[in-house]
Structure 1
Amino acid sequence: MKPPVPSSRSLADLRRLTPARVGLGRSAASLPTEALLSFTLDHARARDAVHAAFDAAGIMAGLAGLGTAPIEVSSQARNRRDYLRRPDLGRMLDPASKRAVEGRGAAPCPCAIVVGDGLSPTAVNVHAVALVRHLLPRLAADKVEVGAVVVASGARVALGDEIGAITGARMLVMLIGERPGLSAPDSLGAYLTFAPRIGLTDAERNCVSNIHGAGLSYEEAAFRISWLVREGIARQVTGVALKDESGGGSFSRSLPGCDKSDT
Structure 2
Amino acid sequence: MSDEPRTPAQADPWQALRSLTPARIALGRAGTSLPTSAQLDFQFAHAQARDAVHVPLDVTALTADLAREGLQVLRAHSAASDRLVYLQRPDLGRQLDASSAPSLDTLAATSGQGFDLSVVIADGLSSLAVQRHAAPMVGRIAALAKEEGWRMAPLVVVEQGRVAVADEVAQRLGARMVVNLIGERPGLSSPDSLGLYFTFAPRVGLTDAARNCISNVRPQGLSYATAAHKLAYLMREACKRQLSGVSLKDEAEVPVVGTNTDQGPGNFLLAPTRPDGP
Query: Runs ≥4 in structure 1, deviation > 3 angstroms?
Result: 11-14
CA-based RMSD: 1.9
Gaps of 5+ in 1: 1-7, 254-263
Aligned pair partner of 2:40 in 28, 37, 45: 37
Question: Which aligned pairs between 1:55-134 and structure 2 lie closer than 5 A?
Answer: 55-104=58-107, 105-106=110-111, 107-134=113-140
Gaps of 5+ in 2: 1-11, 257-264, 268-278
Read off the aligned partner of 1:248 and give its amino acid letter.
V
Q: Which residue of 1 aligns with 2:160?
A: 154
Q: Which residue of 1 aligns with 2:182?
A: 176
Question: By how many angstroms is 1:13 displaced?
Answer: 5.3
Read off the aligned partner of 1:141 and give its amino acid letter.
E
Question: By how many angstroms is 1:249 displaced?
Answer: 5.8
Assess if the C-alpha contact under 8 Å between 1:138 and 1:223 holds in 2: no
Question: By how many angstroms is 1:54 displaced?
Answer: 0.6
Assess if the C-alpha contact under 8 Å between 1:135 and 1:223 holds in 2: no
Assess if the C-alpha contact under 8 Å between 2:114 and 2:174 holds in 1: yes
Read off the aligned partner of 1:148 and give its amino acid letter.
P
Question: By how many angstroms is 1:198 displaced?
Answer: 1.1
Assess if the C-alpha contact under 8 Å between 2:208 and 2:245 holds in 1: yes
Question: By how many angstroms is 1:168 displaced?
Answer: 1.4
Larger Rg: 2
Q: Distance in 1 between matches of 2:158 and 2:142?
A: 19
Assess if the C-alpha contact under 8 Å between 1:128 and 1:175 holds in 2: yes
Question: By how many angstroms is 1:17 displaced?
Answer: 2.0
Question: By how many angstroms is 1:152 displaced?
Answer: 0.7
Q: How does the TM-score come out when normalised to structure 2?
A: 0.83
Read off the aligned partner of 1:189 and give its amino acid letter.
G
Q: Distance in 2 between matches of 1:14 and 1:224?
A: 30
Aligned pair partner of 2:173 in 167, 178, 181: 167
Assess if the C-alpha contact under 8 Å between 2:15 and 2:27 holds in 1: no
Question: Which aligned pairs between 1:209-224 and structure 2 lie closer than 5 A?
Answer: 209-224=215-230
Q: Distance in 1 between matches of 2:67 and 2:118?
A: 15
**1:201 maps onto 2:207 in alignment:** yes
* Structure with higher RCO (Cα < 8 A, 6+ apart): 1
**How many percent of aligned residue pairs carry the same amino acid?**
46
